[in-house]
Amino acid sequence: MKILKAIFFLLVFQQGFGQNFDFRALRKINLNRMASYDPQMQFLTNTSDFVAMGTPLTLLAVGYLKKDASIKKEGYNAAVATFGTYGVAYILKKAVNRPRPYVTYPVIQNYEVVTDGSFPSGSTALAFSAATSLSLSYPKWYVIAPSAIYASGIAYSRLHLGAHYPSDVLAGAVIGAGSAYLSRQLNRLLVNEYRKRKVNTTTF
C-alpha cells in the first residue's frame, strides 16, 4: 500500500506543481554534465536489462547446480521481482504517456531519441529491482554497497542523458525496490500456505 501511495504521489507531483521543479533539476544536471561521458552513460543504462535478467538466472543456475533450495528460492524471488517490474513499468508508461523531457523542452540535450513514455524510468526500475533483490537475499555490506551504487548510477545516467525527469527516476526506483520486496512477501505467504495445507493433510 505504501508503494502505491508513493507512486500516486509522484504521478500527482509530475502532473502538477512539480513539473517546473522537475524541469529545473533536470536542466541543471543535463546542461552541466560532462558530455564526453555520454557514451559511457548510455552503456551503463544499457546494462540494466542484462543485469535484471541475469540476476535471477544466475541465482537459479547456481541453486540447481549446487542443489541448494535456499539459493533457488532467492532466484525465484528475483525472477518474480523482475517480471513484476517490467509489467508495472510498461502499464504506467502506456497509461501516463508522459512526453520525454527533450520533446517538451528542446533545451534538454538528449543522447538518443526514444519514442515510448517518460514516466516511469524503466531502466532505473530494473536496476533497483535487481539491486534490492540481491541486497535482501544477501544482506552484507559488500553486496548492498555495490548494488546501491550500481542502481544509483543507472538513475543518474537517465538524467545525464536527458532521457527522464527526476520524478520518472524516483518512480522507477520505488517500483523496482517495491517489486523486489513484494515478491519476497508473496513467496513467503505462498510457502506458509503450502505448509499449512501440508500439515492439515497429514493430520487428516
In DSSP notation, 116-147 reads S--SS-HHHHHHHHHHHHHHHHS--HHHHHHH
**If phi over 0 gives left and psi between -120 and 50 gives alpha, with beta otherwise, what is residue 162?**
left
Residue 43 belongs to domain with CATH number: 1.20.144
CA–CA separation, 85 and 154 (whole Å): 15
Provide the number of structural domains found in the chain: 1
pTM: 0.87
Q: What is the distance between the alpha carbons of residues 144 and 107, in angstroms, rounded to a whole number?
A: 37
Q: Examine residue 113 and state whether it is found in any structural domain, yes or no.
A: yes
**Strand residue runs (E) in 12-156:** none
pLDDT tens, position by position, 34-47? 999 999 999 999 99
Judge whether 30 lies within some domain: no
Say if 162 falls within a structural domain: yes
Give residue 184's pLDDT: 87
Choose among 124, 50, 48, 122: nearest CA to 89.
122
User: Is it the case that residue 177 has pLDDT exceeding 60?
Assistant: yes
Mean pLDDT throughout 184-202?
Answer: 64
**Which residue range is the domain that position 48 belongs to?**
2-11+37-203
DSSP state of 99: P
C-alpha cell at 71: 539459493
Report CA-CA distances (Å) from 192 to 48, 121, 159, 189. Answer: 33, 34, 42, 5
